[in-house]
Structure 1
């Protein structure tokens, strides 16, 4: 009910900020491209540069333009919450690309639906995932971003990570649950802790036998909403530890710092990795964990995470708002048979290793090459 508020400041930011910044990027690209005889290949990224394809196409009609969107693409109803002239301009500009990439099939569907809503004159092929607009054809692709598996594994076995692992190991229990997140509302941390609390209450035999290690990176602490959420996280942790903890056991151990190596070390130790985000473009923690974990750990994954369509077969799927369902998934994960754990862990690791960051880049370059 409170956000967004589109006032004159937002309209002014669009006209005097967003548009000129995109024009400035395009100007440099155009100047550089004109030094060469061959048309350029222009690759743009994310929401900061949505208008870039429009400005490049105006000056260099035969340029090959690819743009990749890292964040989720909302359904048309959400785009109606901002002025229609802005949405129309964004859709029109992105339809000046030759290749437009998204993280997930849902994002691609939402984009095509949005174009259909705001550019009714565009010709949209929902079967072949193409848009024809103002004489240009855009192929809309899905390129889920990934990780450098070798680099993540190298960090996991580095002296610093091994030192962190040795310090964390005594905090582990018969079963250890891990989460690694920026402390942001969309990461859904509080609901995850409440699901864990509910599991301990429903299954009191687990008291003292399961520990939750949470590696949380403070984020955007200058924004009041994020400050409040961090406060809420700390309050929930204190409440759970106070009500269920014992003299020699605390249900939740938090590490509130930006320490990537320590977090990677923590990934090696989980029996269950909780990724219950509300919505996001991609979650790389869900990909990093399976390639470094030593325990055939189980991934509990939100159905609304951008990585879900890739890893669903090996994960336990939860709805991000379903505390009861998340509680059941946590219990299933820590009581799962060794055979099922191994099967799921193997599926996850194989999927991530097969579709690593090199695969992500190769697919895009291959599609660009086919246009040359």
Structure 2
């Protein structure tokens, strides 16, 4: 790739999105002897947004090749229209993605460090940081090559915090936005980072015309970090914005009533079983990745506390917990997944009976089964330590068949929009969460239905397509 791009590209994309993960991934088909590639298309807000601007908008998505199949597709020249996949060297990507983005930036913004022992910013960190810079530079150069004069570029998330400034140097004519999908750390925690790294991260995002966040809280924290690290004011003139990503109600309701979801509901009902009097058992549902910030273990401990404090719920309630493995190439995530399974098994061993399994735990990702659990939920438990938004909190009220009570951490971004109609918990408070679960299970049906209706309305106020279009419009303003 060229290191500079001072004139508009002959490709001339008018709208560009940049993100680590793209809308398509590839795998070499092991069942086909000719080594053919199989393409798998993804979904989400960016996909919806790009489709909403229309096929004649001359849009391009720039993303990284993440797998061997992706890299093989790049080498063979296989690709999707409107997508440019970057074959960044695997070792550089691993250092940037796992070494910095997931093991440093994610930990800082979600406040996950055990500070007596970590972080340690040593020579190995500096080596990985150089890869993070190279990774961001590859994106900036590709965007500079592909963008038409004055094009709009929306760069996504903590993986690409340096790219806006780099792109600004290469193409000052572009309108550049950056969107953060994570929380943003307070200045005191953000300043765990070395001073020069903290300044580089902030300066990278300030290379954008507009930096946007999921909630006002995270936007204010970013501004406070700029003041603390760089001095008063936002020296670049970067505008700060907020766009609270909502659930896609039409898609969720249609998808939740397909036959495969009905099959999963039947299977789940069999696993849940009936109460001793023959009636239906109550369900407390959570659906998460086994991400450290999701706080699954404390959720299980709160459920155990509920069974201790209110033995009348034994055999009358089941905790349906879906904990889908995440980032298993990092040891700390493997250990956390194992702890989730250990605590669930401990609860089942201590309290279970031949006719009652207190915790129904599934660790294999299955979207149809997740939707089935959404529909069956009496209570939704969403108790993250910190979360940029948390769409599960918004999705469950949208598809719940009989209405559900949302028990919600005050540290989830969704709390800003849903807190008034949820039961709010401190994510570290086990006894407080157990009390909230009991309150949720005993809430009158009428109140539960009214709360669910208001939650669903708030959750769908800014659907993914509109969320993306609003960012583009604000960048053009």
The answer to whether TM tops 0.5 is yes
Q: Does 1:6 align with 2:117?
A: no
Matching residue within 241, 249, 261 for 2:356: 249
Work out whether 1:307 is the aligned partner of 2:414. Answer: yes
The match for 1:332 is 439
Matching residue of 2:88: none
| Correspondent of 2:372 among 235, 257, 265 | 265
The correspondence for 1:103, drawn from 194, 214, 217, is 214
- 1:70 Cα deviation after fit: 0.9
Q: Matches of 1:272 and 1:102 in 2, distance apart?
A: 29
> Which of 54, 59, 76 is matched with 2:170 structurally?
59
1:81 aligns with 2:192: yes
SS at match of 2:376: coil
| Whole-Å separation in 1 of the counterparts to 2:367 and 2:324 | 9
Change (3 A) 1:53 1:184: closer
Aligned to 1:168: 268
> What is the alpha-carbon distance in structure 2 between the residues aligned to residue 148 and residue 254 of structure 1?
26
CA displacement at 1:43 relative to structure 2: 1.1
Q: Any idea what SS the aligned residue of 1:40 has? A: strand
Residue 193 of structure 2 aligns to a residue whose secondary structure is coil
- Contact kept? 1:57, 1:96, Cα under 8 Å: yes
Per the alignment, residue 150 of structure 2 pairs with 39
Q: Secondary structure at the match of 2:153?
A: strand
State yes or no: 1:29 paired with 2:136. Answer: no
Q: The residue matched to 1:67 in structure 2 has which SS?
A: strand
- Counterpart Cα distance in 1 of 2:381 and 2:313: 18
Offset, 1:235: 2.0
Output the CA distance in 2 between the equivalents of 1:48 and 1:220.
15
In the aligned structure 2, how far is the partner of 1:178 from the partner of 1:271?
Answer: 8
- Alignment match of 2:248 (pick from 121, 137, 148): 148
Aligned length: 355
Normalised by the length of structure 1, the TM-score is 0.91
TM-aligned CA distance change 1:32 to 1:242, over 3 Å: closer
Q: CA deviation at 1:287?
A: 1.2
Tell me whether 293-302 or 182-191 shows the greater mean CA deviation: 182-191
- CA distance, structure 1, for counterparts of residue 170 and residue 346 of structure 2: 60
Out of 273-282 and 72-81, give the one that drifted further.
72-81
| Alignment gaps of 5+ in structure 1 | 124-130
SS of residue paired to 1:39: strand
Alpha carbon RMSD of aligned pairs, Å? 1.5
Instruction: Say if 1:272 and 1:297, in contact at 8 Å, map to a contact too.
Output: yes
Separation in structure 2 between the aligned mates of residue 230 and residue 101 of structure 1, nearest angstrom: 32
| 2:388 partner SS | coil
Q: Is the 8 A contact 2:166 2:207 kept in 1?
A: no
Structure 2 spans left out of the alignment, 5+ residues: 1-115, 273-279
Check whether the contact 1:313–1:347 (CA below 8 A) recurs between aligned residues: no
Counterpart residue number, 1:114: 225
Query: Could you state the TM-score of these two structures normalised by the residue count of structure 2?
Result: 0.72
Match of 1:198 among 297, 300, 305: 305
**Runs of 4+ off more than 4 Å:** none
**2:154–2:177 CA contact under 8 A, matched in 1:** yes
